[in-house]
Amino acid sequence: MKNGTIWNDDEGTPIQAHGGMILEHDGVYYWYGENKGAPNASADGGWARVDVIGISCYSSRNLRDWHHEGVVLAATPDDPKSVLHPSRVVERPKVIYHQPTRSFVLWFHADNSTYTAASVGVAVSDSPTGPFKLVRSMRPNGIDSRDMTIFKDTDGVAYLFHSSDWNRTMMISRLTDDYTNLDGFHAPSLIAQSREAPAIMLRNGTYYSVTSGCTGWDPNVALYATSSAVIGHWRLIDNPCTGPHARKTFYGQSTYIFTVGDQPYLMLDHWKPKNLQTSGYSILPITFTDDGMEIAWHDEFNGI
């Protein structure tokens, strides 16, 4: 699969799973993302957008051959008040498995077309391939929330990372034990650093975040940060990308870090704002040297 381009599923149809993530469950990889498979809608408020179709899911055993499992959380055209109405914005879905109830919990950025609702939505399913049922939407702890991700720690405690204070500060908010709500404990990180598109990983007791700057659909420089605790003192370190176009994140933007064995991979979106449904994907291995995190460009990702 050529990095930076849109990839096809096992039926030769372009994969619609933008702002996505990959979850491994019982030996199967599930790729969730925004289905943007329609022409751009008119952009009131200035941002290019596609009417909400829903969250797609694809499955694979080798991260190369992807089977479309369908739209697992669908838009609700008949309910204008729903956060899933086509006129809204549904972005960056992230799914975690809740072991005690064997359920799957999906969090997403729920917004309006001018990005002023700045909320999250939460949906649950007892199957990784859905259908997911919306359980709530809210501003996390009353705080604005745009780009976001979910990180589940090794002790099973999960956290929402969300760009807040008009994207100036990355808030970290702890989830309740059932993962469908927040328990109120939250703390800011990367204060006034204007970072978004967070992707989180843990390695040898150190937590890493990779984030982008805030330039909408346009690429910018990625930065990684480290901390010894999820809710702790996060410190921006450097641009992890190396080689040509490293200062533009290879014309991509971070969305998730998943790990296979000991090998972490960064997923990127290559946004094409003029026709968002043609936005491409990359999956790049993350390496560590004495100098820290390093992400080099690879022309291809061909699974495992």
Q: Is 217 in the site for ligand GAL (CB under 6 A)?
A: yes
Distances (CA, A) of 87 to 38, 64, 147, 219, 260: 13, 33, 18, 25, 37
Q: How many residues of this chain bind ligand GAL (CB under 6 A)?
A: 11
Cα–Cα distance, 5 to 173 (Å, whole number): 34
Instruction: Look at the alpha carbons of 42, 44, 46, 51 in this order and tell me if their dihedral is positive or negative.
Output: negative
Q: Is 251 in the site for ligand GAL (CB under 6 A)?
A: no
Residue with the closest Cβ to ligand GAL? 216
Q: Interacting stretch for ligand GAL, rule CB under 6 A, among 71-79, 93-101, 150-158, 212-220?
A: 212-220
Residue closer to ligand GAL (CB basis): 194 or 259: 194
Q: Is 216 in the site for ligand GAL (CB under 6 A)?
A: yes
Q: Is 9 in the site for ligand GAL (CB under 6 A)?
A: no
Residue closer to ligand GAL (CB basis): 39 or 216: 216
Q: Is 144 in the site for ligand GAL (CB under 6 A)?
A: no
Q: Is 117 in the site for ligand GAL (CB under 6 A)?
A: no
Q: Interacting stretch for ligand GAL, rule CB under 6 A, among 133-141, 186-194, 214-222, 257-265?
A: 214-222
Q: Which residues bind ligand GAL (CB under 6 A)?
A: 19, 47, 91-92, 147, 196-197, 214, 216-217, 253
